[in-house]
C-alpha cells in the first residue's frame, strides 16, 4: 500500500512539474515574441480558458492557434437580443414584466403559445422572452459566464448549433409533455451548453484542473437545482391570477446538450463531420424532432 501511495504521489508531482514547465515555456515564448503586456495578458487568459474548457491533451493545440478572431459574437449577440426584448416589454409595455408574466407578454409574437403552434417561428423565438427580471438575469449570467469561454474555444458555429438545438428541443418537449402551457425563456439553450460542458467535465475532470474538477461539477449541479426549483415554482405554485409556464425546456435542453453538445465540445481538435458519434447524436435528435412534429399535428391535446 505504501508503494502504491508513493507511486501516486510521484505521478501527481510529475503532473504538477509538467504544468509548471509548460507555464514557464509559455511565458518564455511570450517574452521572445516581444508582444508587450497586452499579448502576455491575452495568452494568460487563453491558458486559463484552456484549462477550464479542454482536457490536457487538447490544450497545446488550442494555445498554438488561440486568438479572439472571430470574437464570441454569437453568445453576446443573443444575450443583447434577449435583454432588448425584455426591456421593451418591461419599459414600453404597461405591465408588471419586472416581476412576472402579464397579459402584454402573453400576446407577444415571440412567446410559444399552444393555441398558435402553426406559427412555427415561436418554437425558436420564445427564447427572447423572459418571465421576470430574476428569470432573465439567471439565464444571461449562466450563458455569458459559460458561453463566452466555450465560444472562445469552439467558435460561434459550434456553440450556436448546440444552443439552438437546446432551444428547439425545449419547445418541442414542452409541446409534448406540457402541451397546454406557455413557454418563455432561453433555458433550453442555456441548459444545452451546461449539459455539453457537464459531460465533458464528467469524462475529463481529472485533467481539467484536477483540484477543481469535482468542485466544478458540484457548482454546475447546484446551479441546475436552484434554477429547476425556480422553474417548478413558476409552474406549480404560480398565483391564481398568474399564468403557469412550462419547465420541460430545461430537461430537454439538458439532454440535447449531453448528446449533441458533448459530441461537439469533445471534438475540439478533430473534424466534427467525420466523427460517427456526431451523426448518431444528430440522427437521434432528428428522430425526436419528427416524432414531436407528428405528435403536434395529429395527437396533441392542444388541438
- Annotated catalytic residues are 187, 250
Confidence category of residue 218, pLDDT binned at 50, 70, 90:
confident
Predicted TM-score (pTM) of the model is: 0.80
How many other CB atoms are found less than 10 A from the CB of residue 13?
Answer: 10
What's the mean pLDDT in 261-285? 90
Q: Which three cell numbers stand for residue 33?
A: 515574441
Helix (H, G, I), strand (E, B) or coil at 261: helix
Q: pLDDT tens digit string along 179-211?
A: 888 888 898 999 999 999 888 887 776 766 555
Q: Domain extents for the chain?
A: 1-65, 73-299
pLDDT digits (tens, 9 = 90+) for 96-119: 545 555 556 778 899 999 999 899
Element holding 228 (H helix, E strand): helix 210-236
Question: How many H-runs (helices) and E-runs (strands) does the chain carry?
Answer: 12, 0
Residues 143, 135: Cα–Cα separation, whole Å:
12
- For residue 246, which of 172, 165, 137 has the smallest C-alpha distance? 172
Q: Report whether the peptide linkage leading into residue 20 is cis, meaning its omega lies within 30 degrees of zero.
A: no
Contact 127, 112 (CB under 8 A): no
Higher pLDDT, 45 or 289: 289
Q: Report the mean per-residue pLDDT for the chain.
A: 79
Quote the CA–CA distance of 56 and 51 in Å, as a whole number: 7
CATH superfamily of 73-299: Rhomboid-like (1.20.1540.10)
Q: What is the mean pLDDT of residues 119-146?
A: 89
Give pLDDT, residue 67.
Answer: 72
3 state DSSP class of 244: coil
Amino acid at each position: 500500500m505504501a508503494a502504491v501511495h508513493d507511486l501516486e504521489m510521484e505521478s501527481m508531482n510529475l503532473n504538477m512539474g509538467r504544468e509548471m514547465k509548460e507555464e514557464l515555456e509559455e511565458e518564455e515564448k511570450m517574452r521572445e515574441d516581444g508582444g508587450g503586456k497586452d499579448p502576455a495578458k491575452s495568452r494568460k487568459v487563453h491558458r486559463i480558458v484552456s484549462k477550464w474548457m479542454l482536457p490536457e491533451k487538447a490544450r497545446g493545440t488550442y494555445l498554438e492557434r488561440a486568438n479572439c478572431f472571430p470574437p464570441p459574437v454569437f453568445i453576446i449577440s443573443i444575450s443583447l437580443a434577449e435583454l432588448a426584448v425584455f426591456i421593451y416589454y418591461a419599459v414600453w409595455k404597461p405591465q408588471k414584466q419586472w416581476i412576472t408574466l402579464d397579459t402584454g407578454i402573453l400576446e407577444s409574437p415571440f412567446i410559444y403559445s399552444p393555441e398558435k403552434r402553426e406559427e412555427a417561428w415561436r418554437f425558436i423565438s420564445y427564447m427572447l422572452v423572459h418571465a421576470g427580471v430574476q428569470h432573465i438575469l439567471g439565464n444571461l449570467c449562466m450563458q455569458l459566464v459559460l458561453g463566452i469561454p466555450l465560444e472562445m474555444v469552439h467558435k460561434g458555429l459550434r456553440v450556436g448549433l448546440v444552443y439552438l438545438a437546446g432551444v428547439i428541443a425545449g419547445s418541442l418537449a414542452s409541446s409534448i409533455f406540457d402541451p397546454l402551457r406557455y413557454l418563455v425563456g432561453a433555458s433550453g439553450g442555456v441548459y444545452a451548453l451546461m449539459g455539453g460542458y457537464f459531460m465533458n467535465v464528467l469524462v475529463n475532470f481529472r485533467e481539467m484542473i484536477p483540484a477543481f474538477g469535482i468542485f466544478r461539477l458540484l457548482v454546475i449541479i447546484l446551479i441546475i437545482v436552484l434554477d429547476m426549483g425556480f422553474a417548478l415554482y413558476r409552474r406549480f405554485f404560480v398565483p391564481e391570477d398568474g399564468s403557469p409556464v412550462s419547465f420541460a425546456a430545461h430537461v430537454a435542453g439538458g439532454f440535447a446538450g449531453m448528446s449533441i453538445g458533448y459530441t461537439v465540445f469533445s471534438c475540439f481538435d478533430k473534424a466534427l463531420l467525420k466523427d460517427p458519434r456526431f451523426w448518431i447524436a444528430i440522427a437521434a435528435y432528428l428522430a425526436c424532432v419528427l416524432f414531436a412534429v407528428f405528435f403536434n399535428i395529429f395527437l396533441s391535446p392542444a388541438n
